[in-house]
């Protein structure tokens, strides 16, 4: 039985540009890749290679710190530099720059395992960690950390194939072309956390993907394919959990707190490739689309490929784009430099024309129409959050649960005043985190002084 989640919108899909286009390796590989040392939540990796080193595909080049995931070379060749380079997340990031020798020589440590039946759940998680697999449909949370925290606590494993954001079709093509790896990865994920099986959720605008995944799952009964009526942001994990189970993840909690685990279809496929094929995560299916391009395509590109190179592979611009985004039109990040590289979580490069964006009237005063409240899937009050954030009332803004905002863009989409609501909330969340960090640091200093005074007495 399906349930409903609150809010949401139904924007025009624009998937027809690429949904029938197979995802193929680049016709010509880039001469150079720039691989950032941070493609996940938590601390950046520490480079373990230096200028002049020879590297091979799948070779470890960044060692994880804290809860991070290791990073591997996506091409073979020579390390040109280890230095800060422009980064898709904004600013500069320490990166390993590799000159491609076009040999794609594999690292000898990558070995095809073939049969994974004898592996334990703990061994699967260890392999996933070594392969550097992260969440490939969102913030890039390291998959091994997510799995480790879910062992023995999950009764519902959800594989997210909703791909609800407009324009993006990379997951659609994956389910059509490598549905076997999606299903196989789902079974490995279930084994890793001790779940009995998995449900693969796919929106009904992808009927061919639904049919193929069902065919690949066979009749074993451990994998169920659940079609979902198209609606944005159904692919957000809290909304997907509510839709499939009726459970609501409480504020400040995680899916595992309601006995659920959500992984994207791309993550499931990466787990299969890591465990069975012995491959580190070095490639990414990317939709390169938008009316500004000569030939929108789906591509399989080495991680670290410059956005400018992907645009070239799509025939270049047929007209000057109004903006270029990493990701879709609702949650994508504007690209300020076309030489920034794609990362593990990059599923789309979107090149929009002024016509696609539509008339951009200047922001006006909020009229408190309440439309933003009606569409917010987290049941927040964006108009009051904005009012307080605009006056730097951080405590009041935090009390309105701005930290629960998933930045889906529904409020921006629906706002008749064209207010930059999501941008305001991102800035507010950053300010609140900074404020709380300073408060925590002050508390620690006060406690340290108090402990010293007690010791002296």
Within 13 Å and on the Cβ side, how many CA atoms surround 327?
Answer: 21
* Residue-averaged pLDDT of the chain: 94
For the cut 60, the answer to whether the pLDDT of residue 456 exceeds it is: no
For the cut 90, the answer to whether the pLDDT of residue 107 exceeds it is: yes
pLDDT at 63: 95
Average pLDDT of the residues in 441-456: 74
Residue-wise pLDDT tens digits, 150-179: 999 999 999 999 999 999 999 999 999 999
For the cut 80, the answer to whether the pLDDT of residue 449 exceeds it is: no
Q: Which pLDDT band holds residue 253 (cuts at 50, 70, 90)? A: very high
For the cut 90, the answer to whether the pLDDT of residue 221 exceeds it is: no
CA distances from 177 to 23, 126, 170, 412, 431 (A): 8, 27, 10, 35, 43
CA dihedral 270, 273, 275, 280 (to 10 degrees): -80
For the cut 80, the answer to whether the pLDDT of residue 208 exceeds it is: yes
Q: How many residues does the chain have?
A: 457
CA distances from 298 to 22, 265, 301 (A): 6, 16, 10
Average pLDDT of the residues in 198-202: 97
Which position has the token pair 């064209």? 418
Q: Which pLDDT band holds residue 454 (cuts at 50, 70, 90)? A: low
Which of 114, 266, 113 minimizes the C-alpha distance to 177? Answer: 266
pLDDT at 359: 72
Cβ neighbors of 336 (< 8 A, separation 6 or more) are 86, 90
pLDDT at 318: 96
For the cut 60, the answer to whether the pLDDT of residue 100 exceeds it is: yes
**More confident position, 454 or 226:** 226
The tokens describing 106, both together, are 């594999």
pLDDT at 153: 96
For the cut 90, the answer to whether the pLDDT of residue 443 exceeds it is: no
pTM exceeding 0.85: yes
Topology of domain 116-275, CATH: Rossmann fold (3.40.50)
pLDDT at 219: 80
Residue-wise pLDDT tens digits, 308-354: 999 999 999 999 999 999 999 999 999 989 999 999 999 999 999 99
Instruction: Write down the domain spans for the chain.
Output: 116-275, 371-437
User: For the residues of 235-301, what is the DSSP string, one character each?
Assistant: TSHHHHHHHHH---PPTT--GGGGTEEEEEHHHHHHHHHHHTS---S-EEEEEEE-TTBSS-EEEEE
Which of 270, 278, 282 minimizes the C-alpha distance to 61? Answer: 282
pLDDT at 66: 80
CA distances from 126 to 147, 322, 425 (A): 10, 44, 37
For residue 326, give the 3-state DSSP assignment: strand
Burial class (CB in 10 A: 0-12, 13-18, 19+), 144: buried
User: For the residues of 380-392, what is the DSSP string, one character each?
Assistant: --HHHHHHHHHTT
The tokens describing 401, both together, are 């649960």
Cβ neighbors of 442 (< 8 A, separation 6 or more) are none
Which of 14, 17, 27, 60 minimizes the C-alpha distance to 300? Answer: 27
The tokens describing 288, both together, are 């390169």
Contact in structure between 280 and 271 (CB atoms under 8 Å): no
pLDDT at 322: 93
Residue-wise pLDDT tens digits, 288-311: 999 999 999 999 999 999 999 999
pLDDT at 82: 97
């Amino acid at each position: 039985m399906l349930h409903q989640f609150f809010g949401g919108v139904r924007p025009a899909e624009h998937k027809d540009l690429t949904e029938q286009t197979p995802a193929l390796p680049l016709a010509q590989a880039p001469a150079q890749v720039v691989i950032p040392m941070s493609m996940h939540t938590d601390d950046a990796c520490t480079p373990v290679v230096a200028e002049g080193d020879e590297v091979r595909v799948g070779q470890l080049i960044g060692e994880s710190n804290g809860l991070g995931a290791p990073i591997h070379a996506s091409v073979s060749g020579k390390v040109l530099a280890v230095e800060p380079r422009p980064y898709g997340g904004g600013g500069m990031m320490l990166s390993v720059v590799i000159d491609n020798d076009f040999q794609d020589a594999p690292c000898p440590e990558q070995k095809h395992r073939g049969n994974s039946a004898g592996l334990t759940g703990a061994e699967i998680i260890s392999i996933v960690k070594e392969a550097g697999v992260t969440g490939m449909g969102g913030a890039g949370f390291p998959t091994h950390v997510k799995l480790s925290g879910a062992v023995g606590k999950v009764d519902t494993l959800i594989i997210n194939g909703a791909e609800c954001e407009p324009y993006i079709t990379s997951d659609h093509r994956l389910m059509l072309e490598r549905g076997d790896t999606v299903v196989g990865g789902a079974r490995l994920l279930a084994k890793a956390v001790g779940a009995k099986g998995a449900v693969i959720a796919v929106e009904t605008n992808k009927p061919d993907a639904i049919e193929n995944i069902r065919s690949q799952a066979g009749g074993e009964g451990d994998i169920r394919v659940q079609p979902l009526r198209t609606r944005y942001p159904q692919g957000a994990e809290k909304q997907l959990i509510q839709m499939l189970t009726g459970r609501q993840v409480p504020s400040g909690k995680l899916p595992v707190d309601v006995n659920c685990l959500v992984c994207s279809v791309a993550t499931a496929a990466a787990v299969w490739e890591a465990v069975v094929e012995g491959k580190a995560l070095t490639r990414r299916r990317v939709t390169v689309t938008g009316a500004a391009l000569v030939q929108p395509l789906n591509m399989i590109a080495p991680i670290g490929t410059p956005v400018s190179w992907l645009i070239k592979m799509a025939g270049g611009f047929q007209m000057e784009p109004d903006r270029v985004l990493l990701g879709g039109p609702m949650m994508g990040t504007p690209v300020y430099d076309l030489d920034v590289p794609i990362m593990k979580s990059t599923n789309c490069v979107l090149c929009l024309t002024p016509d696609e964006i539509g008339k951009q009237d200047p922001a006006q005063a909020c009229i408190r129409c309440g439309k933003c409240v009606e569409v917010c899937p987290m049941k927040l009050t964006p108009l009051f959050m904005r009012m307080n954030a605009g006056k730097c009332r951080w405590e009041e803004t935090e009390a309105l649960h701005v930290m629960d905002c998933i930045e889906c863009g529904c409020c921006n989409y629906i706002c008749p005043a064209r207010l930059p609501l999501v941008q305001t909330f991102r800035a507010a969340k950053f300010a609140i985190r900074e404020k709380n960090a300073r408060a925590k640091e002050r508390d620690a200093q006060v406690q340290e002084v108090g402990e010293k005074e007690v010791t002296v007495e």
